[in-house]
């Protein structure tokens, strides 16, 4: 017997749920790519993308996943042999650093481990120690989707200013844009990158890079840049073809128009608040479960937890057992514990993550939590009482 029939819910931290409205907008014949509707639609996207990122600067859209956006940001600002400082707060910061290493850039890491946010004071000290300003850029992830941490980007900018260091601040917002508050210009971010498949509620396939004038000045001397990734050629080009260095991502653009409309209709502030409240509901439930038995948060400090994803620890192999039970019996799939330990390590089976980003509402989150509660009971995993009441109270207080 299984109760998994019905609409399956992929509650992993990306790709996130694609709204029916977005799917419907994409379900159409191929458009002409030389004239007409698609061209106008493309031009309409840029003001909305700027608003999403809190910037007056130009966004560039690549046909790429997040890794492509990472590479684009580095290629346009760095030369082989340049040095960057990676703010190490999990797998994704490390991954961005690996892309840089592969491009011939020297990577230094200021490590904070897998269970804490970056300490601004330590960043100030690391930059102050770089007296001849060899570090060209600081790479930081706003939300590390593996550990579930949220870094304080404003505080990290202030830390750089305190050290009077001229490095660019480059921020990975792949898990957080359209989920968490982010204000590129007000916070002094030079380059921000994101992707389509998380807060933007689209399938994977679009990578976005936002850059300011300081970053564009770095582009003058960057020898890592190649024709395809060159953001200048793609910014306000005379010829439509150059926006995408070739055929545009036709159906993704129709989907993006729809998802940006959905965000505008709800209001970006409301989108951020919705994610915050739903995250609080998840945390209240997890705290109740953890009040007895082994369940614990990967990030103990509430103030530094992301509103996009919650990373939890059980005892091995119960994280994996719980995930498998939910998929088989409740029609909900939770995230695996990537980047914490190697997949061949038995401890890998401790972890699970609850994605709560993008097209999520109260019943999806409460249903997921109730399904986890059922799974804990079905598997006789020790847990504290009152989780669902606690989550419902958060939702009821709206």
Nearer to ligand PLP (CB atom), residue 311 or residue 371: 311
Could you tell me which stretch among 140-148, 287-295, 322-330, 388-396 binds ligand PLP (CB under 6 A)?
140-148
**Of 27-35, 137-145, 321-329, 367-375: span binding ligand PLP (CB under 6 A):** 137-145
Closest to 314 in 3D by CA, of 375, 371, 382, 369? 382
Number of residues binding to ligand PLP, judged by CB under 6 A:
13
> Using the rule CB under 6 A, which residue among 9, 62, 92, 187 binds ligand PLP?
92
Mention every residue, 6+ apart, whose C-beta is less than 8 A from residue 255: 18, 22, 23, 25, 26, 196, 202, 203
**Among residues 67 and 158, whose Cβ is nearest to ligand PLP?**
67
Q: How far is the CB of 142 from ligand PLP (least distance, A)?
A: 7
Q: Is residue 117 within the footprint of ligand PLP (CB under 6 A)?
A: no
Which residues from 12-51 bind ligand PLP, rule CB under 6 A? 14
Determine, following the binding rule CB under 6 A, whether residue 97 of this chain makes contact with ligand PLP.
Answer: no
Q: What is the rounded CA–CA span in Å between residue 27 and residue 36?
A: 18
Residue 360 interacts with ligand PLP (CB under 6 A): yes or no: no
Interface with ligand PLP (CB under 6 A), residue from 178, 195, 319, 335: 195
353 is in an annotated binding site: yes
Among 22, 53, 58, 66, binds ligand PLP (CB under 6 A): 66
Q: How far is the CB of 68 from ligand PLP (least distance, A)?
A: 7
Whether residue 151 contacts residue 140, with contact meaning beta carbons closer than 8 Å, is answered with: yes
CA distance 273 to 114: 26
Q: Report if residue 167 touches ligand PLP, rule: CB under 6 A.
A: no
Using CB under 6 A as the binding rule, whether residue 298 contacts ligand PLP is answered as: no
Q: How far is the CB of 143 from ligand PLP (least distance, A)?
A: 6
- Structure-block tokens of residue 105: 């850039």
Phi and psi, residue 60, nearest 5°: -120, 140
Question: Is there binding between residue 140 and ligand PLP (CB under 6 A)?
Answer: no
**From 67, 83, 154, 158, residue interacting with ligand PLP (rule: CB under 6 A):** 67
For residue 94, CA distances in Å to 111, 267, 361 come to: 10, 33, 32
CA-nearest of 193, 180, 170, 184 to 150 is 180
Residues contacting residue 191 through CB under 8 Å, at least 6 positions apart? 73, 77, 137, 168, 169, 170, 171, 209, 210, 211, 212, 215
Q: Which residues contact 75 (CB under 8 A, 6 or more apart)?
A: 103, 222, 224, 225, 226, 229, 230
> Could you tell me how far CA 84 lies from the centroid of its own chain?
21
Q: Which stretch binds ligand PLP (CB under 6 A): 27-35, 116-124, 167-175, 219-227?
A: 167-175
Looking up tokens 């600067």, which residue turns up?
57
Cβ atoms of residues 52 and 177 within 8 Å: yes
Beta strand ranges found along the chain (DSSP E): 9-11, 59-63, 83-88, 106-111, 135-141, 143-144, 149-150, 168-172, 191-195, 206-211, 296-297, 309-313, 332-334, 351-355
Residue 65 vs 311, nearer CB to ligand PLP? 65
Nearest-approach distance from CB 367 to ligand PLP, in angstroms: 23
CB of 71 to ligand PLP, least distance (A): 10
Q: Looking at beta carbons only, is 163 or 252 nearer to ligand PLP? A: 252
Q: From the annotation, which residues make up the binding site for substrate?
A: 353
Extract the annotated binding site.
Answer: 353
Which residues would be at the binding site for ligand PLP (CB under 6 A)?
A: 14, 65-67, 92, 141, 143, 145, 172, 174-175, 195, 204
């Amino acid at each position: 017997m299984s109760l998994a029939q019905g609409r399956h819910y992929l509650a992993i931290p990306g790709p996130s749920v694609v709204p029916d409205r977005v799917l419907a907008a994409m379900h159409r014949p191929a458009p002409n790519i030389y004239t007409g509707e698609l061209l106008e639609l493309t031009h309409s996207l840029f003001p909305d993308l700027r608003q999403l990122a809190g910037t007056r600067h130009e966004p560039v859209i690549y046909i790429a996943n997040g890794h492509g956006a990472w590479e684009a940001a580095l290629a346009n600002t760095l030369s082989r042999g340049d040095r960057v400082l990676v703010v190490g707060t999990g797998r994704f910061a490390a991954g961005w650093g690996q892309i840089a290493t592969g491009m011939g850039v020297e990577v230094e890491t200021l490590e904070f481990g897998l269970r804490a946010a970056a300490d601004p004071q330590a960043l100030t000290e690391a930059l102050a120690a770089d007296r001849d300003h060899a570090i060209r850029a600081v790479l930081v992830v706003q939300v590390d989707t593996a550990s579930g941490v949220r870094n304080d980007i404003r505080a990290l900018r202030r830390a750089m200013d305190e050290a009077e260091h001229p490095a660019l601040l480059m921020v990975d917002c792949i898990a957080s844009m359209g989920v968490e508050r982010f204000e590129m210009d007000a916070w002094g971010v030079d380059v921000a990158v994101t992707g389509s498949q998380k807060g933007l509620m689209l399938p994977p396939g679009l990578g976005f890079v936002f850059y300011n004038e300081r970053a564009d000045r770095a582009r003058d001397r960057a020898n890592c840049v190649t024709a395809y990734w060159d953001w200048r050629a793609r910014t306000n080009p005379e010829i439509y073809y150059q926006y995408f260095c070739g055929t545009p991502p036709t159906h993704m653009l129709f989907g993006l128009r729809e998802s940006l409309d959905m965000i505008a209709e709800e209001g970006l502030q409301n989108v951020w608040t919705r994610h915050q409240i739903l995250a609080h509901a998840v945390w209240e439930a997890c705290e109740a479960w953890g009040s007895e038995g082994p369940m614990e948060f990967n990030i103990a400090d509430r103030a530094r937890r992301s509103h996009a994803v919650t990373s939890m620890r059980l005892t091995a192999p119960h994280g994996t057992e719980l995930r498998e039970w939910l998929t088989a019996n409740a029609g909900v799939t939770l995230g695996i514990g990537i980047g914490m330990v190697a997949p061949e390590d038995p401890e890998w089976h401790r972890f699970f993550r609850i994605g709560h980003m993008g097209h999520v509402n109260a019943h999806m989150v409460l249903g997921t939590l109730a399904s986890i509660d059922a799974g804990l009971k079905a598997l006789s995993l020790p847990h504290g009482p009152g989780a669902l009441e606690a989550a419902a109270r958060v939702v009821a207080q709206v």
